[in-house]
């Protein structure tokens, strides 16, 4: 056991509990000498765990920042205020050039006594690199989606300003209509990004009330029909019950699904609205609910990819889109207490089934 801390099992001959950790751990005593290096830290730092015991901490902890400074001289773990108990997480570079995230705990017997032990934890920086890539993907996606409509708005406005007297009324109307459509597209993208942020942070606000699903679905389908030449078939069961739903969010879900079928499918898009109840397929709770089915005639979604469909920035084809639509659909449906499933359509293509409770079933 460690001579510095006889009751500490983390000495060189102690149990190997620290070796079970995925993170690297380096422990130093009051004199700044290493008393323990676990297997993960030894591998990261290129050390022999037993040979490193007794060496000065600054020698064993061979970490540098981008300016060539070492961890110990930069953070001075044995100096500073008596209330100092930790060194916050920082990014440092290992001898092999890989990045690690380093955090340390400074232990004192009391506030009146100096630091008697320093415990340094090292974690691979790959997780942070992955997050950085995701943030870069977000920025690239948003920039791409914003640039297209902004380019159209700027081009048509500039043409109107430069050639106002030479353009006919019909030409002016066409340009202004296009500017209006591009502005609506920008507004929708911004709304999608806000919804993603609210879903991720659990701050999504819903205002459900008894609503007629027939009216809401008809309105959403007609809105999509005006912007596409693809046939959209709507089949609705008569005398559907009301559902407890936020009308705006429900309309957003239906619009996203129908537009997704138009964008990524082929042939007709079929929308079915029906009831489901106890003993029927698709009824998870046995209570009466409304089932919305959206089918397309495209290539469909392979079973092995269906779990990824509802993740952020998933794109199933090369036909554009922000990759946020189905993520938002899943978040909004489940926030209402409903369910989402992906199946194969009978004639080929994707079949997305949504079940909405008639009563308020929010989690």
Distance separating alpha carbons of residues 98 and 40, to the nearest angstrom: 14
Same domain, 163 and 228: no
Residue 332 is assigned to a structural domain of this protein: yes
Question: Using N-to-C axis directions, what is the helix angle for 169-201 and 126-163, rounded to 10°?
Answer: 160
Residue whose C-alpha is closest to residue 193's, from 150, 146, 154: 146
Residue 111 is assigned to a structural domain of this protein: yes
The three state secondary structure string of 223-259 is HHHCCCCCCEEEEECCCCCCEEECHHHHHHHHHHHHH
Residue 363 is assigned to a structural domain of this protein: no
Residue 1 is assigned to a structural domain of this protein: no
Which pTM value belongs to this model? 0.58
Last residue of a domain, one of 137, 171, 201: 201
Domains contained in the chain, number:
3
Domain span including residue 270: 209-357
Residue ranges for the chain with pLDDT beneath 50: 1-15, 278-283
Last residue of a domain, one of 73, 93, 124: 124
Same domain, 221 and 273: yes
Give the SS3 label for residue 81.
Answer: coil
Residue range 314-343, pLDDT digits in tens: 666 555 566 777 888 889 999 998 999 988
Same domain, 295 and 217: yes
pLDDT of residue 299: 75
Same domain, 169 and 150: yes
Same domain, 353 and 222: yes
Same domain, 79 and 140: no
Same domain, 268 and 143: no
Most distant pair of Cα atoms in the chain: their distance: 93
Same domain, 341 and 286: yes
Distance separating alpha carbons of residues 273 and 237, to the nearest angstrom: 6
Same domain, 347 and 213: yes
Residue whose C-alpha is closest to residue 111's, from 83, 80, 86, 76: 83
pLDDT of residue 277: 66
Q: Which CATH number covers residue 85?
A: 3.30.450.20
Q: Around Cβ 1, how many Cβ atoms within 10 Å? A: 15
Last residue of a domain, one of 151, 174, 201: 201
Same domain, 243 and 268: yes
pLDDT of residue 297: 82
Report the DSSP beta bridge partners of residue 269: 232
């Amino acid at each position: 056991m460690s001579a510095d801390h006889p009751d500490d099992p983390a000495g060189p001959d102690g149990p190997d509990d620290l070796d079970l950790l995925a993170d690297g751990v380096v422990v130093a005593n009051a004199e700044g000498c290493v008393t323990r290096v676990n297997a993960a830290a030894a591998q990261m730092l290129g050390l022999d765990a037993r040979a490193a015991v007794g060496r000065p901490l600054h020698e064993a902890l061979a970490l540098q920042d981008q300016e060539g400074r070492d961890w110990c001289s930069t953070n001075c773990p044995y100096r500073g205020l008596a209330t100092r108990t930790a060194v916050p997480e920082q990014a440092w570079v290992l001898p092999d050039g890989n990045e690690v995230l380093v955090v340390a705990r400074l232990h004192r017997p009391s506030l009146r006594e100096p630091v008697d032990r320093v415990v340094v934890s090292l974690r691979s920086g790959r997780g942070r690199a992955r997050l950085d890539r995701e943030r870069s993907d977000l920025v690239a996606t948003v920039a791409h989606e914003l640039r297209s409509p902004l380019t159209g708005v700027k081009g048509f406005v500039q043409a109107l300003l430069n050639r106002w007297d030479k353009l006919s009324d019909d030409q002016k109307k066409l340009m202004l209509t296009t500017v209006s459509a591009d502005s609506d597209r920008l507004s929708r993208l911004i709304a999608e990004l806000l919804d993603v942020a609210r879903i991720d942070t659990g701050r999504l606000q819903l205002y459900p009330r008894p609503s007629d699903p027939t009216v809401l679905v008809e309105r959403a389908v007609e809105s999509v029909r005006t912007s596409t030449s693809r046939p959209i078939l709507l089949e609705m069961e008569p005398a559907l019950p009301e559902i407890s739903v936020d009308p705006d969010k429900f309309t957003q879900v239906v619009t996203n699904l129908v537009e997704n079928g138009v964008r990524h499918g082929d042939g007709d898009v079929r929308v079915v609205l029906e009831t489901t109840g106890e003993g029927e397929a698709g009824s998870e709770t046995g209570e009466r609910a409304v089932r919305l089915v959206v089918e397309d005639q495209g290539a469909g979604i392979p079973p092995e990819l269906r779990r990824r469909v509802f993740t952020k920035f998933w794109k199933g084809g090369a036909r554009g889109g922000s990759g946020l639509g189905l993520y938002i659909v899943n978040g909004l449906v489940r926030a209402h207490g409903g369910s989402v499933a992906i199946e194969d359509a009978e004639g080929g293509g994707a079949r997305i089934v949504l079940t909405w409770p008639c009563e308020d079933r929010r989690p």
